[in-house]
């Protein structure tokens, strides 16, 4: 009898094992569709697993594998992903007997990989292991699979353990440095090198001659393989442009959300929430503004639980956000679930109950016009009082942006 996990996911057959987990082919007993079930071998950081997995479940893009579920079964933790039918690029290279692909075909696949990377980087997610076996080519083109939480859970976000595959991994990651979008650009360039030559590049391979590869493609490849990340293209989109083709305009689902009739322009609200989450490495961020008659209404949010929190209203002084609005001072809550001000029912209604929270007032002069909240640091570490100082500076800039957006553009007369 096949194993059934979380009363829904049926384990059908093993697919493979890796350093951080094992993968099995599975079936969704509700829909009948095929899935991939990854069991994590390193389970030391439950909070980080929960935080990162919830964010990955928000990603929806045709070039990015869907994360469908994340759950625990006893001491073990699992990710359930859509099973992408097709052939990965490593298998395609093996089928050619070790030779490379034609340059135009190789570039076309990498441009599609760049579409995926541009989307996930916009969501503050770094893949860290871009390589041929993590790009599956199916009927709809290339799909990027196997995201970070399934590999680096034991690392807890610290730059002390190299995560990735040698020769495809950016040199700064191999040295224990911090990941960035440029790290994934290196992975995309290394993957392109393998597609063109049948083998990954050696570090420092810049300047290598590549027969039968157009000069502009060679130049782009060398730029992407630069040892110094500052000398690489700054984004996946920039790398694709160097290859001669910009990524498609399809952006996938935005991780930002706002109410139907916000008090400030939607683009400004969502940009502030997104930027705040990126600066503080948060899994979610929200903006609550004062409402007529008192209290707060969540006008915009980014990340996990964003769609559900927008529009929620709090009575004056209610909840952590309401307390911050009344006292006018920031609050860093290391364990918000244990804080008596925490509105557990509201959080449960959004499907996102955070572990830790940082809330800062938004001011227009001496008046508090709202509250910016940051939920869960993606490393799993709690927010501390020391974080509040930097958050106040961010809130000052955010309040100015929101205040300027509220003003009407003056009419110029002659």
Pick the closest to residue 406 from 272, 286, 313, 312 (CA basis): 272
Pick the closest to residue 371 from 341, 337, 404, 326 (CA basis): 326
Cα separation, 50 vs 29, in Å, equals: 23
Pick the closest to residue 291 from 262, 328, 330, 320 (CA basis): 262
Give the residue carrying structure tokens 């700054």. 234
**What is each CA distance from 80 to 11, 36, 70, 150, in whole angstroms?**
11, 6, 6, 10
Could you give phi then psi for residue 54, rounded to 5 degrees? Answer: -65, -35
Per-residue DSSP letters for 248-314?
Answer: PS-----SEEE-SS-SS-HHHHHHHHHHHHHHTTEEEEEEEEE-TTSSEEEEEEEETTHHHHTT-EE
Q: Which residues are known to be catalytic? A: 129
Cα separation, 146 vs 64, in Å, equals: 9
H helix and E strand count, the chain: 12, 16
């Amino acid at each position: 009898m096949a194993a059934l996990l979380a009363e829904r996911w049926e384990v059908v057959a093993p697919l493979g094992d890796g350093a951080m987990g094992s993968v099995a082919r599975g079936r969704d007993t509700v829909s009948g569709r095929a899935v991939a079930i990854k069991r994590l071998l390193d389970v030391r950081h439950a909070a980080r697993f929960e935080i990162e997995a919830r964010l990955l479940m928000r990603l929806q893009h045709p070039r990015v594998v869907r994360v469908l579920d994340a759950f625990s079964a006893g001491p073990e933790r699992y990710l359930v992903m859509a099973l992408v039918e097709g052939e990965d690029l490593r298998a395609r290279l093996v089928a050619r007997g070790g030779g490379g692909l034609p340059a135009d075909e190789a570039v076309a696949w990498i441009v599609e990989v760049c579409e995926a990377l541009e989307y996930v980087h916009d969501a503050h997610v770094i893949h860290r292991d871009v390589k041929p076996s993590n790009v599956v080519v199916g009927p709809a083109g290339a799909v990027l699979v196997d995201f970070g939480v399934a590999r680096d859970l034991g690392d807890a976000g610290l730059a002390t353990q190299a995560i990735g595959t040698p020769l495809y991994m950016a040199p700064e990651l191999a040295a224990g440095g911090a990941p960035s979008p440029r790290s994934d650009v290196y992975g995309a360039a290394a993957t392109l090198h393998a597609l063109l030559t049948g083998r990954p590049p050696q570090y420092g391979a810049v300047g290598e001659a590549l027969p039968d590869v157009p000069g502009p493609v060679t130049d782009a490849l060398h730029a992407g393989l630069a040892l110094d990340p500052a000398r690489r293209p700054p984004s996946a989109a920039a790398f694709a442009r160097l290859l001669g083709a910009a990524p498609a305009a399809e952006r996938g689902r935005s991780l930002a959300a706002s109410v139907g009739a916000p008090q400030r322009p939607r683009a400004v609200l969502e940009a502030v929430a997104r930027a705040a989450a990126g600066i503080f490495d948060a899994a979610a961020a929200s903006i609550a503004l004062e409402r007529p008659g008192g209290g707060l209404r969540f006008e915009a949010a980014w990340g996990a639980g964003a769609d559900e929190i927008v529009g929620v209203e709090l009575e004056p002084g209610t909840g952590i956000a309401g307390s911050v609005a009344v006292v006018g001072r920031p609050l860093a809550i290391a364990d918000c679930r244990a804080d008596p001000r925490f509105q557990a029912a509201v959080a449960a209604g959004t499907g996102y109950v955070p572990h830790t929270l940082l809330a800062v007032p938004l001011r227009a002069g001496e008046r508090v016009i709202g509250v910016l909240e940051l939920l869960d640091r993606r490393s799993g570490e709690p927010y501390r009082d020391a974080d509040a100082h930097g958050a106040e500076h961010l809130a000052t800039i955010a309040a100015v942006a929101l205040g300027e957006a509220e003003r009407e553009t003056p009419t110029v007369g002659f």
